[in-house]
Amino acid sequence: MMQSPAGHRRTEGGAAVTDGYAHADTEVETDGAAARAALAGATGTVMALVPCTAESARRVLGDAARAAGVTLRLMARTVIATRARPADVDPDCERALRAAIGHARSRQPPSPPAPGTLLPAPDVLRGHLNHLRALRRRTLAAPDDAALRAALDDAAYTLCVLMGQRNAHSALLAAEERVAAHRLPPHAAPGGPA
């Protein structure tokens, strides 16, 4: 333990200890709250950009941080700075972030649904896709809003279940293909009227 100027001992974790009791230091508490807020905002931004669930967004952030050789906290700050102050962003962190998001958005052919799976009607899918798009826009505008992140997470997960896919991006592609195919006119029989 180290002695602080005020006569309090400080543990390795940063908590001040007086009279045998650990007290949270205001600076440490504020810094921890700021780090959690930055991570929450960065998670919301990635959820809206990919699109993906909160779990997948945290995985994307972790992959980007590992690729850049920085902490998750710094990568979260990079995501926030990319939107707020692009000139202040470290180029290596931004490159790693773009690569991780690109990898998450890479076109993976949707897996065929399990035999016996009933896919929703195209009109139901269209409504859900519109809801998901609206949530993505709102979450991108306010990534710190926990209620919006939860709603987007729920909508992305629901789309995965509806389409029988493992990730939200593949589910989105499959749903969009199904809706688009429903809009196309049926094929005319060969030799028949067009």
Alpha carbon distance 100, 84 (integer Å): 20
Task: Give me 130's structure tokens.
Answer: 């519109």
pLDDT in tens, the chain (194 residues): 333 334 333 333 333 333 333 333 333 344 788 889 999 999 999 999 999 999 999 999 999 999 999 999 999 999 988 888 888 888 999 999 999 999 988 866 667 766 777 888 888 999 999 999 999 999 999 999 999 999 999 999 999 989 888 888 888 988 998 898 887 555 544 555 54
HSE-CB at 175 with a 13 A cutoff on CA atoms is 29
What integer pLDDT is reported at residue 106 of this predicted model?
81
Question: Given this model, what pLDDT does residue 187 score?
Answer: 56
Q: Say which residue the tokens 């949530």 belong to.
A: 135
Residue 107's pLDDT is what? Answer: 66
Instruction: Report the sign of the C-alpha dihedral through residues 66, 70, 72, 78, in that order.
Output: negative
Please tell me the pTM assigned to this model.
0.71
| E strands in the chain | 2-3, 9-10, 16-18, 21-23
- Give the model's pLDDT for residue 101: 93
From the list 55, 51, 104, 47, the residue with the least C-alpha distance to 79 is 47
